[in-house]
Structure 1
Amino acid sequence: MPETGWEAAELLQRADPNARARAAQKLRYEDFGADLNRALEDRVFDPDPEIRALAVSLIPDLREPVSPDLLSSALQDPCPDVVVSAAEAFAILRFPRASDILSECLAMRPDLTGPLALALARLEDPGAEDLLIDRLEQEDPAVRIAVLRTLGACATARSVPGLVSLLGCGNPAVEGEALAALVRVRERSPNSVGRGDLPADLLDRALPVLMKSRDRHPLLTGIALVGWLRPPEGPALLLGLLESPDRLVRERAREAFGAVAAGAERVALESIAGIADRDPAAAASALDRVAIARDEESRTTCLRLTRHPDAKVRERAVALAGRSGGAGTPEALLSLAKDPVGHVRAQTAEALGILRWKGAGPALEGLLSDPFPDVRQAALSALDTLRDHEVDQERLFESARGGPARAAALRACDPRRAGAPFLSAISDPDSQVRLAAAVSLNEHGVWLEEAAALLADEDPRVRAHALHARLKGPAALGLEPLAAFLRDRDSGVRQTFAIGLERSTGVERAAWLRKLLTDPCAAVGRAAARALAHHHDPQTIGSLLDAVSTGQLPVAAQAIESLGSLGDSEALPRLRAVARGGDPALRDLAAHAVRRVEESRA
């Protein structure tokens, strides 16, 4: 194995081509330092053109930078392979003036127009445009294609006439590249190319060929054309690509379908209905990209798809129907509340909530007993939107079977009017039911003295929600009975306590937050530090300064932010010290806090 860059570079001079290739691979992936740079620079001027080309091709992989002058001299090499390698190296390294240098080389070496144009394409610099336009008249189709690809990457409106002139040249490959270049020019500058600039028969002639291609490049051109020109058959052409295994093709086709459907939802939905039986996955994906069905005919097609045998198609059609609304839509969706597939029932509940039809109330109440959590949650959210519907609490509790159903019923009811069923839930043996009772109190901003047992529940989630509800309660209740939560065995409950104390009232609040500031759990200390930003007193300032010096990093960071909010000049010496030489993660925060304090004093 070579030990120096010189010895490694010597391997390039072996007579056996396979040995040279192996040596190039070794040099590409092993670090030989500055010696290798100097050795390769010498090989760029080797008498053997193969060694020169190989040495130049390795330059972009060097760890040490090389001079652009070295590659510029390689561009003047009489061997075409060396020139092409140097052009590719310029494109990879992107030296200053790389585009100008390659353009000059292109003018001097018309025989290498193809590969030099491809190197320019990688730079995507419009400076070479005029030179490339002159090369469009090259007779060699391969050269023309290379020039067209370069213009596609960097051309402006100046190239449009030349590109349009090639659309009828008779060579399908050249015509395809010219069309692709025009599409890319239009993507950069939408007003540079209009529909009237294209031949009248272009779509009929080129679009079917492009959309049936197995190659990505023409496919992407065809997709872009459909999104731009929006022909009537556009949705049908795109549907087959919505589930393409090629990620880029799939994403572009979905984007184009959404754009086309936005202005022609009736045609788009008819196309979806036509393909739904053959390719339900594509139909489901397409339904996601139809924003709304505005006219009655479109809504009729959409509702017909809600009865499709495929569950995904039904689910996406229900979602579209919910977004679209219209006369008869809520009644048509009501039967889907009993669909055999949980995802469809959940989407139905969500759609009925969006439509806010009070007639959906009983069906949504029935979904609160659904075995699937997503369905129950969607029904709860939907019921919350029905302002004109009053939940029949007695019937709801009577029909609830099992813990999940009772829990959903509790959350749908107002605790103040739920009566005995709610009070019995407080001592229910199922923790889900007790949790729902605590969550209901929290969501409704209500506190009942009968719910005090939830504060001592064995489940920390129940304690946390009950504690939050209690802290939202009337100030007359006082904070003293909650002192035990300072030492709760669950850090999540203590964090909830700190967050709740920020919004509560009581003389104990500031002292308790200062105590929670030193909690062993960083999340608790951070919540306490954030809450203390609303308490401007000397003890609070001192506690926050102590947290900056001795607290865990997240707590110290939040303490710095709180000190900046409080704007007390007493904090400035410590904050300036942290900004100058404290933990690197805290310096910017401390400097910002210093500026805030100084501004508040001005």
Structure 2
Amino acid sequence: MASSEAEMVPIETEAAAPEAEPESEPEPEPAEASLNARDPEQRRLALRELAERGLGDGELEQVVGLVLDPDQQVRRLALGVLSTRADRVDDATIRQALMDPADQVRATAVRLAAERGSRDLVLLAPLVAARRWPLTQAAALDLLPELLASTSTLGETELDLLLTSIGEMDSPPTMEEGPSIARLSRAAGISRLVGSLSLPDVRRLGAVRILVEGEEAPEILRALATLVSDPLDEIREVAEVAADAIGRTDDPIGGSEFFEDAPLAPAEAERIASLARSLRDADEAVRHLARSGLGGVERNRVLAWAREAMHTGDLDTASAAAETVGALRLYEIGVDILNRAIELPLEAREPFLKALARVRLEDLVGLLGQVDESRKPEAIRVLWNSSGPPVLPHLRAHLDDPSIPVRMAVLEVMGESGDPSCVDVARFVLETDQSPPLRAAAVRVIALANIDASAAMTRAMGDADPIVRAAALEELTPGLGREADPFLLRGLSDGDEPVRRAAMNQLASREDNDHEFVWSAFRQCRPEERNELGSVFSYSNQAALTELALMHYGSPDQEERVLALELAGWSRSQACLEASIQSLQDPVPAVRAAAAAALGRLRDTSAVRALGNAIEDPFPEVRVEAVRALGVIDDEAVLGFLVAALQDADGGVRTVASEVLTQWSSPAVAKRLAGVLAVPNLRGAATELLKKIGPSSQELLIDVLLHGSAEVVPIVGGLLGDIVGVDRLAGRLGSTEADTRLRAVEGIGAIGGPEAIDALIGVLSDPDERIRLRATRFLAALGDPRGAQAIVDAALNDPVPEIVAAAEEALIRLGVRSGDPQVA
């Protein structure tokens, strides 16, 4: 028992803590709208104003944070604002928004994801069948066909998800869903859908459903008719209808402007296919016989087979058809080869590229006029890959195309060519094109050629659009060497965050070890820019920070010493830790304050004693920074120093100490405190200390809940109820910080009682799935039937499977079934 008493010592204070002063009333909310306002209506108003004037770089992170706002309308408005800068939104934000519990919010998230192009297809594809969430499904059905059409290739993963989702729908597409799914059939590619009819699982049904909604083309009917013996009733019924349609048609199936004869019989088609595959045989004699055999077949019959193979054959058959087209020069179906190549991943295109390479160049370029406009950018890349530099003069004419993606594709292939003459074209685009992404692409072309880069840098850094300026710093700086220095310094103070970030990344990645230039760059930065730059160096070039800090922390110039200590805080090095501790003895208060702030960034437990001593510094600004630094270090000795700071003679220090204690989180202290609270004869001293700290002990108590054993939960719950109360914690459920809301839920659940039920029910619609999950489990544990209906809604509608499972388990514990009409 003596050892347990000894363990209590770090929690005791060196001086008696004063009785907690009554907390002052929060300052009234400012009248103007603010993204940080406590009132959700003011946050909504701020977002509407932002939507009207446009989202700036400095506001992006704030708006992203509102995707987890507890107010549903705020979340929806935030996603709408972010859609104007969709390219800057990170993947995690999209995933979070698409799992929002509110259908309206998820529908808006679908539109935001679609603005980012094809990168979110894997998330959007399953939503076309999300009938439980009608607004989300409608948005996905509306946007996905166009999104698929605009992407160069639909990956196998995305196609599988799409087919699986539609195949798993409890019934065939409705009249409302049909038109959009018909558009999906065209966007996904008929050949790939027909190829999916041989799949062994529910994806086959998905392919059938999509094809049925699409056009009634002969090749589709013929493919569907082969499924008359399918084990699934729905597929057999579709196959029978397709077979009847084939039997009723007056025109020969497969007829077209090229093929006017009767359709190929299966045996004839298989014979041609066998000869085509033999063209790839390792034996030259076999290949010769195959060419001779194909030469003996009527040209229009081979064309008919090749065309259908391109449209509906699997990859192996289509590849054999492409080689046949090349061998027999069947260029009438060049556009079919081009379209099939566009649909394929790069590694599968080789046979198609070889076939296209044999087409006369003028005819090949003419194929661009026959492909769908949305496919033209990828068609340009296919033509470049098939024909190389000779095609470039023919593609330049498309730099006048009204479509930005088309012009971008031309510029990209010109850059890949490495042709010096392309620099003149790129320079012209940089100076005259109205599209910022095109001008940025022109910068990349010039950088690849490394011709006249200095003049291009001057021109690009004067561009009105930050995309172009950032591209110049990223692409041109490495080739300019020291000549880039003035541009880097200019970029560091640019008003747009992407440009500053590009300049910082380039500065941090320099290999010339010119520390004096880096030092001058830090000195010229404004404080907020200096923080950004320090953060970048912290991740990519800590060695430079360490060298600069150690070179200047002993400077006779106090401003240099302050800056050196700022860099020391970012360096994460042991040498800078020791220099910062030493600088707590500097004769200048501003330097000592900077040293304390640096130790706060370093967060090393070896600095706790020195920071504790700094709480006795004669200057309040030093004591404030020491308290703040202690507040972010996880160490048992910290609590005593923070409690002692509550009785500081300076009101500002006391205020900061109270704020820090309110927010302080220390797993180490929480575990020790949990152990003490579990021992009855030690519990009284710990309880008395916590009550003296007052409401500021809230976070520490919640830490005990998170890190302690189940046996201390009722003890801590009772303390939270006495010291803090449900109402105070419930007030934090409106915080825009998800972690703050989650911790409040932990506290409310531990307190329990009737007041806790309403608060926990309210957060079952929170956007953070962790909060919904914990609230569901607490409601089940508390056993109050008032939570039943809210849990039923969660079981039926929540998009997160783990929450649905927890809700169903909670209903079992409450003795309620989700379909029970008695649920009020």
What TM-score results when the alignment is normalised by the length of structure 1?
A: 0.50
What TM-score results when the alignment is normalised by the length of structure 2?
A: 0.39
The structure with higher relative contact order (CA 8 Å, sep 6+) is 2
